[in-house]
Amino acid sequence: MQDFRKKIVRPVVFCAILLCLLMAASAVMSALARTNTDLVQNRNKSMVELENEPADTIDVLVIGDSESYTTVSPMEIWDKEGIPSYVGGQTGQKIQESYYMLKKALKTQKPKVVAIETNMIFRSQSAVRGIKETLVQTMLYYFPVFRLHNSWKAWVTGEDKRSQTFYKGFVLRDVVEAYTGGSYMKKTAKTERMSRITRFMMDQIVSLCRKNNIQLFLYSAPSPKNYSFRKHNTMEAYARENGLKYLDLNLKIKELGINWSEDSLDKGDHLNILGAVKVSDYLGRYLKKEYHLKSRKSESTYRSWNESLIQYREAAQNAEKQAKKKVKAGS
């Protein structure tokens, strides 16, 4: 009987000790990352810097893959509308990462609106792969030491990471590679498939937003490489089924003033700074009109936003100037 107890007790004690060590290491690494954001990998930087934002100061949270952080510039929206927003985007962000990005953000923020950029929804996942990814992201959420382990290496070795500068999740890009493929939103009644695991995770995001009294809306960034009318139909149907607003900017190219010979970063995949400014201006007006968000520019809590705007404007004007030079050189 004693041998049996030992066989049970020892593994339980070991697991308990391991759990405590992981929790402690995660707490230390999270604190290290928040105070040394330059050590954080670019892919995780927006998540870490969001934790550094003062509590309950973000009114709009944007989530998605690279289509989110190349189309929405929070500082442009702040400049024009005074709405405090933040982009929690990641390169190749998976739907499970989107869910846990939102959960993490809700620990310190109470956004009035969450905007989901929809490209990641069409990133195919099989059932097995989807379940595996869900388990991995759950582990990373509770034990961030595994996500941030490279920060520890950089801190110990003194490695110069030379990370990108993020402006509330947005990164300035002045490269210009024109899209020349012509019209791409050809009307059809067909739809694009949304995998079961993606639909399940989207339903979880919808539920989480409703539980926290957050208005959720979906938007598709201008991108000839990634979007089609089939995808538009799928997102429109999902939005209708769930009582959500859906904004497909691929159907508003003229209204946005997008010029594919100037505003494309990489031949119709992402937008550069010139295109991002146009989309950000449009989204700022849309958010103000549809969700009645007020300007917070005069509030003392947001004094640092006005200070950051000065730095951003200088960098953005330089990036726009460089982009226009490249357009002129290529014409």
Kindly give, in sequence order, each residue whose CB lies less than 8 Å from that of residue 158, ignoring residues fewer than 6 positions away. none
Query: Is the CB of residue 220 less than 8 Å from the CB of residue 249?
Result: yes
35-58 pLDDT, tens digit per residue, is: 666 666 676 777 778 888 999 999
The one-letter amino acid at 150? N
Query: What pLDDT does residue 19 have?
Result: 62
Give the pLDDT confidence of 261-274 residue by residue, as tens digits: 999 999 999 999 99
Is there a contact between 116 and 87 (Cβ–Cβ < 8 Å)?
A: no
Residue 235: what pLDDT?
98
pLDDT band at 132; cut points 50, 70, 90: confident
Q: Which residue has the higher pLDDT, 299 or 330?
A: 299
How do residues 101-117 score in pLDDT, each as one tens digit? 999 999 999 999 999 99
DSSP 8-class letter at 163: P
Q: Does residue 141 register a pLDDT over 60? A: yes
**Segment among 33-37, 225-229, 296-300 with least mean pLDDT:** 33-37
Instruction: For residue 202, give both structure tokens.
Output: 């989207």
Residue 26 has pLDDT above 70, yes or no: no
Give the model's confidence band at 234: pLDDT under 50 very low, under 70 low, under 90 confident, else very high.
Answer: very high
Cβ-Cβ contacts under 8 Å for 266 (sequence gap 6 or more): 175, 177
- Look at residues 72, 62, 82 and name the one whose alpha carbon lies nearest to residue 173: 72
Residue 69 has pLDDT above 60, yes or no: yes
pLDDT higher at 289 or 158: 289
User: What is the rounded CA–CA span in Å between residue 259 and residue 116?
Assistant: 24
The pLDDT assigned to 42 comes to 74
**pLDDT band at 8; cut points 50, 70, 90:** low
Radius of gyration of the chain (CA): 21
Looking at 26-30, 197-201, 206-210, which range is the least confident one?
Answer: 26-30
Q: What is the mean pLDDT of the chain?
A: 87
CA distance 185 to 260: 14
Place of tokens 């460089």: 322
Nearest to 246 by CA among 189, 196, 190, 206: 206
d(CA 331, CA 329): 6
Do 148 and 22 form a contact (C-beta atoms < 8 A)?
no
pLDDT at 21 over 80: no
Structure tokens at 76: 């442009």
CA–CA separation, 303 and 120 (whole Å)? 34
User: How far is 134 from 321, CA to CA, in rounded Å?
Assistant: 43
Higher pLDDT, 129 or 23: 129
Name the band, by pLDDT with cuts 50, 70 and 90, for residue 22. low
pLDDT the model gives residue 50? 85
Residue 28 has pLDDT above 80, yes or no: no
Class of domain 2-330 (CATH, top level): alpha beta
How large a percentage of the chain has pLDDT more than 70? Answer: 80
Residue scoring higher pLDDT (49 or 321): 321
pLDDT in tens, 161-184: 556 788 999 999 999 999 999 999
- Least confident residue range of 45-54, 68-77, 95-104, 203-212: 45-54
Can you give the pTM of this predicted structure? 0.87
